[in-house]
Amino acid sequence: MIKPIGSDELMPLFVYDTDEHDTLSKEAEGLPSILISSAAAGNAVMMGGGYFTPLNGYMNVADAISVAETMKMTSGQFFPVPVLNLVENADGISAGSRIALRDPNVDGNPVIAVQDVVAVEEVTAEQMAMMTDKVYRTDDMEHPGVNAFNTVGRIAISGPIKVLNFSYFNTEFPDTFRTAVEIRNEIQEHGWKKVVAFQTRNPMHLAHEELCHMAMERLGCDGLVIHMLLGKLKPGDIPAPVRDAAIRKMVELYFPPNSAMVTGYGFDMLYAGPREAVLHAYFRQNMGATHFIIGRDHAGVGDYYGAFDAQTIFDDEVPAGAMEIEIFKADHTAWSKKLNKVIMMREAPDHEKEDFVLLSGTKVREMLGNGTAPPKEFSRPEVAQILINYYQSL
C-alpha cells in the first residue's frame, strides 16, 4: 500500500487511548482556553485524522513563511500550505504553557484539542501579504479564502496538539465522515491495490460520474474513493447532507458493488486553486489513494485561476519526489451529441461547443427550483429528484 508522506505510518493526533483521553479532557477544563477560528478547527480535525501526517501541530511563522514560498518547512519537510493557529488576542499565553483550544463550530464551544505552546508570534502585515499572494495568487478580499485567512487575527500560536474530538463531523455525518486511518483500513479490507480518489464539494452530475468510470478504466484501478468536503463552503453551495444523499444514490445505482466508497472529510474549503489541489493530493496519498483526479479549475472560485493551473503546478512547482500519488489530469467532461456518450472535451477536436450538452450552474439551479429535472444527458434522474426536493424546500 502507498506510504504516507514523510513517514512509514500515519501519525494521527487524535487521542485514541481512552484513559489518556479521559485524563486530558479533565485537564483541559482547567487550562487557559482560547476560541480558535473555523479554519484552525478544520486543521485540527485533519491532523487528528492523520491526513496531515507528519505534522504534529500548528506551524510557527518561519515554517509557514517557508511553506508559502517553497512548499517546504524549514526542516525540509514538504507541505503545500501554511497550517497556522491565528488569533486576534493571545494575552496570558506564552511559550511553555499548555492551552485548551475551543471549537467555534459547535454549540458551547467544547475543547477540540490541547496545545503545548512553543511560540506566540505576531505575523507582520508584510508576511501576511506574502503568504496570501503565494497561496491564493491574489490579495482580493472578495476571494473567500483570502478573506477568511486575513480576518482571523495576526497572532500565531504554534506547537504540537492532541485532538480530543472531530468537531461536528462525526456526529452530523456518521455514515460519511472518515479519518485517513479509517479509509486506509477500508481500502485494505476491500483488497484494492490501485485506488483513485475524486474530490467534490458539489453533487455529482453524469459528467462527474463518467469521469470517475473513465479514470478507473484507464488507470486500471480496482477502487474509487469519492471524498467529499463536509466543512464550510461559500454561500449558495449545496449543504453536505443533500450532496451526500445525491452521491450515495448515484453510487448505489450506477457503480458495481464494492467498487466505490462514499466518504467525507472535515475541512473548510480554501478555494486556493493550484495550491489547494496540491494539498488535496497530499492528504489523498495519506489516506491511501494511489491516484487522484484533478480536472478543470480544481478548487478554484471565480476567475482567479487558469483552467488548468491546478494541473500544471504539479509539473512546475511541486518539489521533485515530494509525493508518490499520481495525478489523473482531466479536462471538462460533457455529453457529446455526436457520439451519444460523455467524453473529455479535449479528446474531441472535431466537436464544436454546440455539439455538447452544456448547462450553466445558474440554469441548473433554476430548473431544479422549478421542479424540472435537467436532461438525462446531464444528470441521473434519481439524483436530480433529490436536488429538486432540496431546492423546492428553500
List, for residues 206-216, the tens digit of each pLDDT value: 999 999 999 99
Domain extents for the chain?
Answer: 18-167, 174-265+271-393
Is the pLDDT higher at 201 or at 18? 18
- What mean pLDDT is predicted for residues 141-168? 97
d(CA 390, CA 385): 9
**165 within 8 A of 112, measured Cβ to Cβ:** yes
pLDDT greater than 80 at residue 236: no
Query: Nearest Cα to 25, choosing from 171, 166, 163, 167?
Result: 163
pLDDT in tens, 87-125: 999 999 999 999 999 999 999 999 999 999 999 999 999
Q: Hey, what amino acid is at 110?
A: P
User: Whole-angstrom Cα distance, residue 253 to residue 337?
Assistant: 24
Mean pLDDT of 374-379: 94
Mean pLDDT confidence for 148-154: 97
The confidence band for 234, taking pLDDT boundaries of 50, 70 and 90, is: low
Catalytic sites, residue numbers: 201-202
Cis omega before residue 54 (within 30°)? yes
Domains 18-167 and 174-265+271-393 share a fold: no
**Chain centroid, CA 305 distance in Å:** 18
Q: How confident is the model at residue 142 (pLDDT cuts 50, 70, 90)?
A: very high
Confidence of residue 333 (pLDDT cuts 50, 70, 90): very high
Instruction: For residue 145, give the C-alpha cell.
Output: 479564502
Report pLDDT digits (tens) over 18-67: 999 999 999 999 999 999 999 999 999 999 999 999 999 999 999 999 99
3-state DSSP helix/strand/coil % of the chain, to nearest 5 = 35, 20, 45
Q: What is the mean pLDDT of residues 299-315?
A: 95
Name the residue type at position 16: Y
Strand 98-102 to strand 111-116: parallel, antiparallel, or no bridges (unpaired)?
A: antiparallel
Q: pLDDT value at position 239?
A: 84
Whose cell is 492551552? That residue is 99
Superfamily of domain 18-167: Sulfate adenylyltransferase (3.10.400.10)
User: Mean pLDDT throughout 310-322?
Assistant: 96
Is residue 41 a contact partner of residue 103, using CB atoms and an 8 Å limit? yes
| Domain range 174-265+271-393, CATH class | alpha beta
DSSP 3-state assignment of 327? strand
Please indicate whether residue 160 or residue 359 has the higher confidence score (pLDDT): 160
Alpha carbons 267 and 233: distance in angstroms, whole number: 9
C-alpha 262/C-alpha 264 separation (Å) is: 7
Can you read off the three cell numbers belonging to residue 280?
Answer: 488535496
> What is the pLDDT, as a whole number, of residue 362?
83
Element (H, E) at 223: strand 223-229
Q: What is the pLDDT of residue 233?
A: 65
